[in-house]
Amino acid sequence: MQLTGAEIIIECLKEQGVDTVFGYPGGAILNVYDALYKYRDEIHHVLTSHEQGAAHAADGYARATGKVGVCMATSGPGATNLVTGIATAYMDSVPVVAITANVGKPLLGKDSFQEVDIAGIVMPITKHSYIVKDITKLADTIRKAFYIAKSGRPGPVLVDVTKDVTGALYDYSPRRPATVNRETSEIHRENVEQAVNMICKAQKPFIFVGGGSVISGASEEIAELSHRIQAPVCDSLMGKGGFSGEDPYYTGMLGMHGTKTSNLGVSQCDLLIVLGARFSDRVTGNAKTFANKAKILQIDIDAAEINKNVLVDAYIEGDIKEVLRRLLEEIPEKKHPQWMEHIQEMKAKYPLNYDHTQLTGPYIIEKLYELTDGDAIITTDVGQHQMWAAQYYKYKEPRTFLSSGGLGTMGFGLGAAIGAKMGRPEKTVVNIAGDGCFRMNMNEIATAVRCGKPLVQIVLNNHVLGMVRQWQTLFYDHRYSHTVLNDAVDFVKISEGMGAKAIRVTKMEEVESALKEALSSDGPVVLDCWIDQDLSVFPMVPAGANIDDVFDEEDMKNEQSV
């Protein structure tokens, strides 16, 4: 059957099971949007307010569902506006296919209107990028893009198609998507035996869960391993939900804003089992001293991550779920009562704590957790609110905490929340942002209203760039250079102007009723929550310090009183 290139693109999306795409039209991609009009009953297109919002929405859709997210943009600035979202997905191993259209082939390389080499621009931040200038290669390229995006360690792929290809005619034959199997070829028997031996000998084991565990879907195996060998579990920001935050063996996040129990426990353990984590500097602090009393066993699908940031004593390369399944076949039950008693004592001694006399981010997030029973999908932007969301909401399941970890993208959360809601409409979806981040993406409130689905946007509004200001307080002698947002921006009026319901919250006693109203609404609701500008995120490890140098507000007060 003969179809235009644009129709072939849509048919290939249908082959891959795509039901939703996020994008913004323009001249070069008009043929594709014309095809979308014809296929509007089969593929739902979400028109975002900005192309970056489309990239973040595709990312959020992928993180929430485990499927490939798809975004579209036209040539030139449309394509370049996707770049930050593509980089965000790349850093956090999220499967996204970005489809852009370029000028016609005869106009390439001539500085034509809205011409840019987007395939070249995104090369360092994609698993692969293509430019299709020949319609005979179009369908196979789209198919390859989806396979690459979701195979092995997932990530974004960009396909740029010249406008003449989208308008040309060519024979199209449907094809079933290639099967993506779990990576098992590098799971070697001797490596498994070495790991089993290390686990059996350990007296103080600790498990560290990273984002790869969530991607692999290994939460059941991690829980079984933890309880079988009596090993406490901590996680990275990306690993949230890979092990239930309600499990008594859970000790909290590890690293710069990790709990004292996790940071001290990892520093004291004799075996650290690392599952799908890349040893980010935000986790390790001083990499040379990280877990230096322990043997380290790293399990990861990506060989490039082995011994990259931290030297390990043993490793297994392969899909985490499959590796753990094989390990569990051979690991006997192990009891470590003294170790577990020590961990529980630390949890009791060093709980997360905050000021209960005033309205704070942690209070709002704890109340949100209570009212949603921990069953919501939480998205965040980047900063203090992100850390509080990681610390004070207990994530019971994978794919319920969506946040920009590697790139740290302000403006990520609202687009991601829209994508998550489109992918999992049955779930309550809440985006938590600071006022600095909300300024970067609040135009997507109009998108959320247009989608007509309930969604809650919480703005923790301290009228400053909170995390940067916290560093200025601690390390820059209170020199608040350009971090105070002392202007007249009114988020309630702005949100109402875009069609959303909006509520301002300034007191603790207003929080519960405002959250209940927002959570029961049938459309988007923005809560503008005013908190003090001097609130800080604790515990904290200074950049580059040892993770057992972790301190909190009480430690600072004690030091100042000496």
Q: 270-288, pLDDT tens digit by residue?
A: 999 999 999 999 999 999 9
Of 113, 186, 507, 554, which is the active-site residue? Answer: 113
Residue 345, classed as helix, strand or coil, is: helix
What is the C-alpha separation between 491 and 225, in angstroms, rounded?
47
Identify whether 560 is a catalytic site residue: no
Of 67, 127, 150, 163, which is the active-site residue? Answer: 163
What is the token pair recorded at 78? 């449309």
Identify whether 113 is a catalytic site residue: yes
Could you tell me the residue ranges of all domains in the chain? 2-171, 189-349, 361-530
- The domain defined by 189-349 folds into Rossmann fold (3.40.50)
DSSP tag of 459: E
Q: What does the pLDDT read at residue 139?
A: 98
In whole angstroms, what separates CA 214 from the centre of its chain?
10
Q: With DSSP H G I counted as helix, E B as strand and the rest as coil, what are the percentages for the chain, rounded to 5?
A: 40, 20, 40
Of 14, 15, 105, 114, which is the active-site residue? Answer: 114
Q: Which residues contact 286 (CB under 8 A, 6 or more apart)?
A: 544, 545, 546, 547
pLDDT in tens, 492-522: 999 999 999 999 999 999 999 999 999 999 9
pLDDT in tens, 43-82: 999 999 999 999 999 999 999 999 999 999 999 999 999 9
Would you say domain 2-171 falls under CATH 1.20.140.10? no
pTM above 0.95, yes or no: yes
The pLDDT of residue 227 is above 60: yes
Spatial contact of 72 and 99, defined as CB atoms under 8 Å apart: yes
By DSSP bridging, strand 429-434 and strand 377-380 are: parallel
The pLDDT of residue 553 is above 90: no
Task: Write the class of the CATH domain 361-530.
Answer: alpha beta
Q: What does the pLDDT read at residue 1?
A: 87
Spatial contact of 246 and 342, defined as CB atoms under 8 Å apart: no
Q: What does the pLDDT read at residue 161?
A: 98
Identify whether 51 is a catalytic site residue: yes
Q: What are phi and psi of 450, to 5 degrees?
A: -60, -35
The pLDDT of residue 562 is above 60: no
Tell me what the pLDDT averaged over the chain comes to.
Answer: 97
Identify whether 115 is a catalytic site residue: no
Q: How far is CA 226 from CA 153, 236, 277, 300, 400, in A?
A: 24, 16, 17, 18, 21
pLDDT band at 555 (very low <50, low <70, confident <90, very high): confident
Q: What does the pLDDT read at residue 536?
A: 95
Q: What are phi and psi of 314, to 5 degrees?
A: -160, 160
Of 7, 51, 183, 221, which is the active-site residue? Answer: 51
Identify whether 533 is a catalytic site residue: no
| Own/partner long-range contacts of 306-309 (Cβ < 8 Å, ≥24 apart) | 308/278, 308/279, 309/278, 309/279, 309/280, 309/281, 309/284
Of 422, 467, 498, 540, which is the active-site residue? Answer: 467
